[in-house]
Structure 1
Amino acid sequence: MAEISVREAARRLGISERRTREMLRGQELVGRQIDGHIWQIDATSVQDRARADAGNGRPWADHTVEAIVEALSDGIKIDPKSAYRLRRTETNQLWRKIAQAFTVRRYNARNLDTLHPHLALTGESAIEQIGERLVGQARSLHGYLHGMSLQEFIDEAGLVAAGDGDLVVYQLRSGGMYDGGASWIGDEYARRALIAVDCARSASTRVRSTGIRALDEMRNTWLATSI
């Protein structure tokens, strides 16, 4: 796993070193401490955060993200405050605000096929759920962990942290209902809006454009039916 200093992470994100440390403590970035005070930060988490940078303003609370994801995915009625935010947030900003609620960690795994039961698939691993099909087999497995803690998953699957790993694990930044995640995210597949968001944060131009287009369609459908 490639790691960088707090100073370098701050430079790449265009923020202060103090704010970078706050993001580490809030699990908005993935890192570890050496000797109890020196931070080493996963460079990939900085790259993912930079792509999902939503500009000014605090990240949305979990309950707001949950309400908006369910409204976009299933047309579920939401509270007025969340509805207001969904109406006022354009798609290119919307996917970033949702993405900010989650951390992304990458690992090398011995056998990806055995890991599916523990994951709600998302991003390019579930792109067919939003009307697209990738040619050939995806090179990596993307999913939200459910049913166990991250540490249990790491131990059981023999995972090794790697910035360019072929297993990409998404989790609520706050931990949600338990370390493994929250039940509203999904079971076999993540909710359609989350799949679109995780495609939008991809480094692949095709996957990213598919995610943004799908999320825009969901938002327009919601706007048309929520008047």
Structure 2
Amino acid sequence: MTTVATGKVVASAAEAVGDIGDGALLAVGGFGLCGIPTASIAALRDQGAGGLTVVSNNCGIDDAGLGLLLANGQIATMVASYVGENKTFEQLFLSGELDVELVPQGTLAERLRAGGAGVPAFYTPAGAGTLVAEGKETRAFGGVEHLLEHAIVADFALVRAWKGDPLGNLVYRRTARNFNPLVAAAGRVTIAEVEELVGVGELDGDHVHTPGVFVQRVFQAPPAEKRIERRTVASR
């Protein structure tokens, strides 16, 4: 058997995020508290890089997910599609301490997908005729106004997967798949934390969601706390 040395496996989250510098543009996977790279976020909080621009579906909650970086004053600009679960976010935005770009969720997903696919920009009808359209090029297709939206290519991408191998191939589990594959492809340097690191050849190629060509660093993360973002119960 031939051993393949890739240099992609790192020992810890701290090592994986160690070179993220001030002012970096980050894309971060997850949806709410599902599939978020908890270990990488915590390590980045401890590492202390500031002035970050973060692209993610949302900014977590006050004491979890990207909310940790927000509370620590490390995020300068947030690009997201939903921000309704974070009181710290609200306070920083209203006080002018945080720049915010709200993007329709489908547009945000496509901007990340385009970045990973090497497509520099695309037209979409989402947001036409609204505040989202301010300052953007428009063009009509079939009599419908469309906005020109630019792709997102991040300096670093942080994702969490169910399984991964030393080559960086990743498999996500159920709804934790969400934004992670898009984010993984959109990063110049993609850091993947995995629940289980398996040997090369153990993943079924037909089941791989993110091919290793998109991933530069991978590490096995400790189990993450399974939290409920908003608990809803039926009345009796």
The structure where strand makes up a greater share of residues is 2
Band the TM-score falls in, shorter-chain normalisation:
under 0.3
Which of structures 1 and 2 has the bigger CA Rg?
2
The structure where helix makes up a greater share of residues is 1
Structure 2 length-normalised TM: 0.23
Structure 1 length-normalised TM: 0.24
